Amino acid sequence: MGYHFENVRLEKGMYGRSGKSFTQTLEELDPSEGYRGTAAESLDAFQRQLKRFDIRVKGADSDTVEKFFHTTESSVLFPEFVSRVVRQGLEEGGILPDITATVTRFDGMDYRSIASVPTEDEKKLVQVAEGAAIPETSVRTQENLVKLRKRGRMLVASYEAIRFQRLDLFSVTLRQIGAYIGKMHLQDAIQVLTEGDGNENPAETVSLSGELTYDALLEFWNKFDPYTMNTLLVGGDAMLKLLKLKEFQNPLTGLNFQGTGTLSTPLGAKLLRTSAMPAGTIIGLDKNYALEQVIGGEVMVEYDKLIDRQLERAAITSISGFAKLFTDASKVLKLGASGGGTSGGAGAQG
């Protein structure tokens, strides 16, 4: 008895049909629910098509790129393969999930986030007497739109150059493209955390005179109430300064880093290093309340070029933007010059 996926007709028009992704269109034609209890239960609609054409994309025995182009229908699968591997590179090893409170998928370019900015009186915890009015929390839409930016890389390769390359090897290059795009999105996120999203909500900047000390970090941490500074974003220079503090040389901190590859500060905040951070800057944030990521659709590839084996200068793009949810949930610490002093005092910039 044959499976239904063996009879699905594949064509170029399945990309971008009614605003749906290729996989969503495939799932409508070949629903995964129909494979429960079968050998194909663990596969999605796209993976079932790879099985149909016997295309192995992973491992030492993976097929060559040429295998996608043995038939007209199987060539239609190639852009989706490229998109998936690029998305994998975009997601793996990236730190965006560690600094975003929520992700919103939005099919368009004009997105307006929401905000709740309580007054000092609204922040107070007051007792509600019987029959009295209950304190209100106002939620409103932001005045300015979130800026969604298209980030991408150009795939420059002739079909003849890659046709005999193993898909597993070709995937390494595609994942690197995804990693580059992810880094550009991270730079956008850092800019929004620091400067705001256009709605007059830049982060409070704390200037540090003299050397970085543990006391200065404590003062910075204390400014986050009622939020919790549970994440620190640093560049390479700031990371070195932090690791030289004796409080960061606790044996338990070292054991945790060796076991998990993740550094935690003595304050309990997760320490994230990235070259996207400007020098002499530390961003502290409450990951649960600081930032919203808005994704404008899936990773896009120029499917016509890829299907027709015209890989030269085929664009791979991703659209994303960021909005600040609660302004006080993120703050910036500007480091002073080394050797300038030892007090470590931190004061808010005027």
3-class DSSP state of 229: coil
Q: Please say if the pLDDT value at position 139 is more than 80.
A: no
pLDDT given at position 94: 85
Residue 117: strand, helix, or coil: coil
Per the structure block, which two tokens stand in for 121?
A: 């009186």
Residue 108 above 60 pLDDT? yes
Give which of 261, 283, 300 is closest to 186, Cα–Cα: 283
Residue 135 has what pLDDT? Answer: 61
Q: Give the per-residue SS3 of 46-73.
A: HHHHHHHCCCCCCCCCCCEHHHHHCCHH
pTM (2 decimals)? Answer: 0.83
The two structure tokens encoding residue 319:
């659209």
Q: Is the pLDDT of residue 286 over 80?
A: yes
At residue 123, the pLDDT reads 55
219: part of which helix (H) or strand (E)? helix 214-222
pLDDT recorded at residue 264: 62
Cβ proximity of 224 and 286 under 8 Å? yes
Predicted confidence (pLDDT) per residue in 168-180, tens digit? 999 999 999 999 9
Q: What percent of the chain has pLDDT over 90?
A: 63
Average pLDDT, the chain: 86
pLDDT at 343: 38
Over 70: is that where the pLDDT of 154 sits? yes
Average pLDDT over residues 182-208: 94
- Our CA angle for 286, 287, 292, nearest 5°, is 120
Per the rule left: phi > 0, alpha: psi between -120 and 50, beta: everything else, 67 is alpha
Mean pLDDT of 123-150: 69
- So what's the pLDDT on residue 252? 59
Tell me which of 22-26, 254-258, 313-317, 346-350 is least confident. Answer: 346-350
pLDDT of amino acid 339:
41
Report whether pLDDT(109) > 80: no
